[in-house]
């Protein structure tokens, strides 16, 4: 006996879209969300830039979330708020802690993982120096600023040029802080170009590429930091170290899918994405457990999150209702030369046209993307520019697929 056909863990854009798709298939659906409202990270992303693809207009994060919340409220899907999922098993027993009901154990016909991701911290990147107050991840600063209404510093340095850091550079400038500089380890930005232009250039905030923070100073509150250029092997050149006074350092050094719940399962993980290995339905290596959104791989556009989650939610419903059909034969999809990972990592033969998402490992200009399977070319197309910060997509036809698929770049 199952309590719900589909249990969705996480009520961000991924969880909401997955639940709506499952509900549309007639599945009894529950969303379990630990926050006091749906919307996930979008609630704190008050800037515009969401929904151009999905809704055909540019919305702010809360507006994009709001549209989905309205749909969820109108659907039959149930929502448990302030409820944190504590464990998940291979046979789809979900345990969560709820303020009204205490510890709740439910059996799910299918589970959709939609827990999003968390930020890398100072510990995760091994930053030297003391541990004074004033060091935040950019997302934590964003939450404090946009949800709680606190400004975390007056003179700010941002390490890493990920989108959250760039967005926070503008946000804190608007709120009256001085953003002294952005320091990026790589020779290019991992953020979207529009964010470099509209968040840094617009306000005259300098960015030092191929630099890193070497030390933090001050106690109990930070008073400044040292930074230096790095050599080809990304080691700081200490002789060129410089000082920057500041009372706040924001870290925007990458996101990690929040997959701790998988510890109790046999779900196979991808070493590059840190998310699960999935097939085109977004089903993991454990039958009936699906994954989508940032917990599967880090997305830069929420529009892609919603689409991917719809795929996962629909197939989770079909699986739970016993209507899921796929060919027996399943093949790996892999990235080669220049392609860091391909998602989905598994493809069933004869599952129609499938979108393959991937990221490249460097900035490439004027190159060709080639997808091959057993000597057959599935896709070949030119791109003027490819960058690690922007997720790419190609479409391949899986009809008659009989060998693994590789995706690579030809310069």
Partner 1 sequence: MKTICINCPLGCPIEVTESGGKILVRGNTCKRGHDYGVTEYLRPVRTVTTLVTREDGAVVSVKTSAPVPKDSIFELQRHIKTLRVPLAVKRGDTVERNALGLGADIVVTGVPPVAR
Ligand X SMILES: Cc1cc2nc3c(=O)[nH]c(=O)nc-3n(C[C@H](O)[C@H](O)[C@H](O)COP(=O)(O)OP(=O)(O)OC[C@H]3O[C@@H](n4cnc5c(N)ncnc54)[C@H](O)[C@@H]3O)c2cc1C
Q: Which residues of this protein are in contact with partner 1, per CB under 8 A?
A: 36-37, 39, 43, 46-48, 58-63, 65-66, 146-149, 174-175, 193-194, 196-198, 201-202, 384-387, 390
**Least separation in angstroms between CB 232 and ligand X:** 31
Separation of alpha carbons 394 and 411, rounded Å: 17
Closest CA to 127 of 206, 219, 226: 226
Q: Residue 32: name its binding partner from partner 1, ligand X, none (Cβ under 5 to 8 Å by kind).
A: ligand X
Determine if 303 is a binding residue for ligand X (CB under 6 A). yes
Q: How many C-beta neighbours within 10 Å does residue 395 have?
A: 12
Taking the least distance from each CB to ligand X, the nearer of 37 and 76 is 37
**6, 22, 30, 41: which one binds ligand X (CB under 6 A):** 41
Determine if 371 is a binding residue for ligand X (CB under 6 A). no
Name the segment binding ligand X (CB under 6 A); options: 71-79, 112-120, 275-283, 332-340.
112-120
Separation of alpha carbons 119 and 253, rounded Å: 7
Separation of alpha carbons 372 and 274, rounded Å: 25
Q: Residue 302: name its binding partner from ligand X, partner 1, none (Cβ under 5 to 8 Å by kind).
A: ligand X
Measured CA angle at 369 (ends 367, 371), to 5 deg: 160
Contact 48, 59 (CB under 8 A): yes
Determine if 313 is a binding residue for ligand X (CB under 6 A). no
**Least separation in angstroms between CB 370 and partner 1:** 19
**7, 69, 111, 115: which one binds ligand X (CB under 6 A):** 115
**Least separation in angstroms between CB 373 and ligand X:** 29
Determine if 268 is a binding residue for ligand X (CB under 6 A). no
Q: Residue 40: name its binding partner from ligand X, partner 1, none (Cβ under 5 to 8 Å by kind).
A: ligand X
Taking the least distance from each CB to ligand X, the nearer of 17 and 230 is 17
Closest CA to 192 of 272, 234, 252, 128: 252
Q: Specify which residues 85 forms β-bridges with.
A: 96
Q: What is the DSSP letter of 401?
A: -
**6, 186, 253, 305: which one binds ligand X (CB under 6 A):** 305
DSSP 3-state assignment of 351? coil
Q: How many C-beta neighbours within 10 Å does residue 169 have?
A: 29
Determine if 315 is a binding residue for ligand X (CB under 6 A). no
**2, 3, 24, 35: which one binds ligand X (CB under 6 A):** 35
Name the segment binding ligand X (CB under 6 A); options: 6-14, 178-186, 220-228, 329-337.
6-14
Q: Is 199 exposed, middle or buried (0-12, 13-18, 19+ CB in 10 A)?
A: buried
Determine if 50 is a binding residue for ligand X (CB under 6 A). yes
Q: Specify which residues 183 forms β-bridges with.
A: 159, 208
Strands (E), 147-283: 155-159, 178-183, 207-208, 211-217, 224-229, 242-245, 248-251, 255-257
Name the segment binding ligand X (CB under 6 A); options: 99-107, 148-156, 199-207, 289-297.
289-297
Helix 61-74, helix 302-320: angle, nearest 10: 20
Q: Residue 46: name its binding partner from partner 1, ligand X, none (Cβ under 5 to 8 Å by kind).
A: partner 1
Contact 112, 278 (CB under 8 A): no
**Least separation in angstroms between CB 243 and ligand X:** 29
Q: Which residues contact 344 (CB under 8 A, 6 or more apart)?
A: 278, 279, 280, 282, 333, 354, 356
Q: What is the DSSP letter of 230?
A: B
Separation of alpha carbons 11 and 354, rounded Å: 26
**7, 8, 20, 42: which one binds ligand X (CB under 6 A):** 42
Separation of alpha carbons 331 and 303, rounded Å: 27
Taking the least distance from each CB to ligand X, the nearer of 84 and 237 is 84
**Least separation in angstroms between CB 231 and ligand X:** 31
**Least separation in angstroms between CB 368 and ligand X:** 27
Site size with ligand X, rule: CB under 6 A: 38
DSSP 3-state assignment of 307? helix
DSSP 3-state assignment of 297? coil
Interface with ligand X in residues 146-165 (CB under 6 A): 163-164
Name the segment binding ligand X (CB under 6 A); options: 3-11, 311-319, 339-347, 360-368.
3-11
Residues forming the site for ligand X (CB under 6 A): 9-15, 32-35, 40-42, 45, 49-50, 84-85, 114-116, 139, 142, 163-164, 167, 258, 261, 293-295, 299-303, 305
């Amino acid at each position: 006996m199952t309590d719900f056909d589909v249990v969705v863990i996480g009520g961000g854009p991924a969880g909401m879209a997955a639940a709506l798709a499952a509900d549309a298939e007639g599945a009894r659906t529950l969303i379990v969300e630990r926050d006091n409202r749906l919307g996930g990270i979008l609630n704190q992303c008050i800037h515009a830039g969401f929904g151009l693809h999905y809704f055909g207009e540019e919305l702010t994060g809360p507006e994009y979330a709001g549209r989905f919340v309205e749909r969820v409220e109108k659907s039959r899907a149930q929502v448990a708020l302030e409820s944190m999922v504590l464990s998940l098993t291979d046979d789809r027993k979900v345990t969560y802690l709820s303020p009204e009901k205490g510890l709740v154990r439910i059996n799910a016909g299918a589970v959709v993982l939609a827990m999003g991701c968390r930020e890398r911290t100072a510990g995760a990147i091994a930053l030297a120096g003391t541990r004074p107050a004033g060091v935040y991840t950019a997302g934590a600063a964003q939450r404090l600023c946009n949800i709680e209404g606190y400004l975390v510093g007056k003179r700010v340095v941002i390490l890493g040029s990920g989108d959250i850091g760039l967005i926070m550079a503008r946000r804190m400038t608007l709120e009256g802080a001085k953003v002294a500089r952005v320091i990026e380890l790589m020779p290019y930005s991992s953020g979207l170009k529009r964010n470099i232009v509209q968040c840094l250039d617009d306000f005259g905030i300098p960015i030092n590429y191929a630099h890193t923070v070497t030390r933090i100073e001050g106690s109990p509150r930070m008073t400044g930091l040292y930074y230096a250029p790095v050599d080809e092997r990304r080691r700081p050149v200490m002789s060129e170290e410089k000082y920057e006074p500041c009372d706040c350092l924001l870290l925007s050094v990458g996101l990690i899918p929040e997959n701790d719940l998988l510890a109790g399962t046999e779900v196979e993980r991808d070493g590059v994405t840190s998310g699960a290995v999935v097939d085109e339905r977004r089903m993991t290596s454990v039958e009936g457990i699906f994954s989508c959104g940032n917990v599967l791989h880090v997305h830069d556009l929420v529009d892609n999150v919603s689409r991917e989650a719809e795929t996962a939610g629909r197939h989770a419903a079909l699986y739970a209702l016993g209507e899921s059909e796929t060919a027996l034969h399943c093949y790996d999809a892999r990235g080669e030369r220049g392609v860091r990972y391909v998602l989905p990592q598994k493809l069933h033969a004869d599952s129609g046209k499938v979108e393959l998402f991937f990221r490249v490992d460097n900035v490439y200009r004027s190159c060709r993307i080639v997808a091959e399977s057993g000597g057959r070319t599935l896709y070949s197309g030119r791109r003027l520019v490819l960058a690690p910060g922007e997720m790419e997509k190609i479409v391949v036809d899986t009809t008659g697929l009989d060998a693994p698929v590789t995706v690579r770049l030809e310069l």
